């Protein structure tokens, strides 16, 4: 079966595996104190145009989200998220398990607006019983969102402005960030994120790495004692060089963006095939996640040869599903799916 279910089915880019094998028997300091982690952090700071950033490497997205949020919030504080946000629906209550409520609000195609944050904040501070409720202190967004949509420069500027006006931290989940930066309608870049977010992370697990996320901390308040939180949450990898090597390789010679652009090219080719068949999309986007609305009869025919994710029921005979491409998607597999679509 050819899998288009998610964007981390494959292992790691061959250059990463080669570098890991080359250094396999070399001794180095542990816990992220090695030369590879230091160089990877330097490369990321350079890409962000800011050498004052603190860069930490964690194993996965859920671990990164819960560690950042717990480090930022006091026990009475919560984090604002779109209802579809990963921390709200796909992390088994990881944030809540640490004592912080996720303050979920309605979304439009996975995105939050500055107006929603303003309304929630004002509602809280002007409530006569404010101290009886969880205090909003952080705004969590992801780019791309769970629907593959992207924030524009204007949208992120407005969110950043509201957060700074009300002393809220702005945290961006970048698990699929490479695919967002490579999309044809993208308006953001790493320096812009470093200017407008308090903290964000650059996803490796879904974008070429075997595992790993690079947490980039901009706000000085959040830098303090962060390694304590990494250790406490079980995120301080003894063989930290394994993370450093991967991000060092990804950020040398523009590999991160090169492989992200490949995923977008494959997605565009597949997206056009769905359009030619006349299938509408649950959500329009230009990233690596595609959400066609298809007849159940066609999906049943494809299910024997292709893996995809069910999204939601549209009507009695149609379902919205998700197809994903990745840095490692083979064009021959995309062509195979397109040919079978034509014959359905």
Residue-wise pLDDT for 136-146, tens only, equals 999 999 999 99
DSSP 40-75: HHHHHHHHHT-TT-EEEEES-HHHHHHHHHHHH--T
Contacts (Cβ under 8 Å, ≥6 apart) of 71 = 222, 225, 226, 229
Burial code (b: 16+ CB inside 10 Å, e: under 16) for 309-340 equals eebeeeeeebbbbbbbbbbbbeeebbeebbeb
Q: What is the pLDDT of residues 244-288, one digit of tens each?
A: 999 999 999 999 999 999 999 999 999 999 999 999 999 999 999
Q: What is the pLDDT of residues 108-162, one digit of tens each?
A: 999 999 999 999 999 999 999 999 999 999 999 999 999 999 999 999 999 999 9
Burial code (b: 16+ CB inside 10 Å, e: under 16) for 220-245 equals eebbeebbebbeebebbbeebbbbbb
Give start and end residues of each alpha helix (H) in the chain: 14-22, 35-48, 61-72, 86-89, 94-97, 114-125, 153-165, 177-181, 190-196, 220-223, 226-232, 241-250, 255-276, 296-302, 331-342
User: Is-cis flag, bond preceding 144, omega within 30?
Assistant: yes
| Range list for CATH 3.90.1150.10 in the chain | 2-7+258-342
| Beta strand pairing call for 2-3 and 306-307 | parallel
| Range list for CATH 3.40.640.10 in the chain | 14-250
Q: What is the pLDDT of residues 186-226, one digit of tens each?
A: 999 999 999 999 999 999 999 999 999 999 999 999 999 99
Instruction: Please provide the size of the chain in residues.
Output: 344
Reply yes or no on domain 2-7+258-342 having CATH 3.90.1150.10: yes
DSSP letter (8 states) at residue 307: E
pLDDT band at residue 50 using 50, 70 and 90 as cut-offs: very high
Pick the CATH number of 14-250 from 3.10.20.30, 2.60.40.1180, 3.40.640.10, 3.40.50.970: 3.40.640.10
């Amino acid at each position: 079966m050819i899998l288009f279910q998610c964007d981390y089915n494959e292992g790691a880019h061959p250059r990463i595996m080669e570098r890991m094998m080359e250094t396999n028997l070399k001794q180095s300091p542990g816990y992220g104190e090695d030369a590879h982690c230091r160089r990877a952090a330097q490369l990321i700071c350079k890409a962000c145009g800011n050498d004052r950033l603190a860069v930490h490497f964690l194993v996965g997205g859920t671990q990164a989200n819960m560690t950042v949020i717990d480090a930022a919030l006091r026990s009475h504080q919560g984090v604002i998220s779109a209802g579809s946000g990963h921390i709200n629906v796909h992390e088994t209550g990881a944030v809540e398990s640490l004592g912080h409520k996720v303050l979920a609000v309605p979304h439009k195609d996975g995105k939050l607006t500055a107006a929603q944050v303003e309304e929630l904040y004002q509602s809280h501070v002007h409530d006569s019983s404010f101290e009886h409720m969880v205090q909003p202190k952080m705004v969590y967004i992801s780019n791309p969102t769970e629907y593959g949509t992207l924030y524009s420069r204007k949208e992120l500027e407005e969110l950043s402005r509201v957060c700074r006006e009300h002393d809220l931290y702005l945290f961006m989940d970048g698990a699929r960030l490479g695919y967002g930066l490579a999309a044809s309608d993208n308006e953001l870049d790493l320096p812009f994120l470093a200017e407008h977010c308090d903290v964000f992370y650059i996803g490796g697990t879904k974008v070429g790495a075997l595992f790993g996320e690079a947490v980039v901390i901009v706000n000085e308040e959040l830098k303090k004692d962060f390694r304590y939180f990494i250790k406490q949450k079980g995120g301080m990898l003894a063989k930290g060089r394994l993370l450093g090597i991967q991000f060092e390789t990804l950020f040398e010679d523009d590999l991160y963006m090169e492989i992200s652009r490949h995923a977008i090219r494959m997605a565009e080719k597949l997206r056009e095939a769905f359009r030619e068949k006349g299938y509408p999309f649950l959500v329009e986007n230009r990233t690596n996640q595609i959400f066609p609305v298809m007849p159940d009869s066609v999906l049943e025919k494809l299910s024997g040869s292709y893996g995809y994710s069910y999204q939601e029921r549209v009507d009695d005979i149609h379902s919205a599903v998700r197809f994903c491409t990745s840095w490692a998607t083979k064009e021959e597999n995309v062509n195979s799916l397109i040919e079978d679509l034509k014959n359905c």
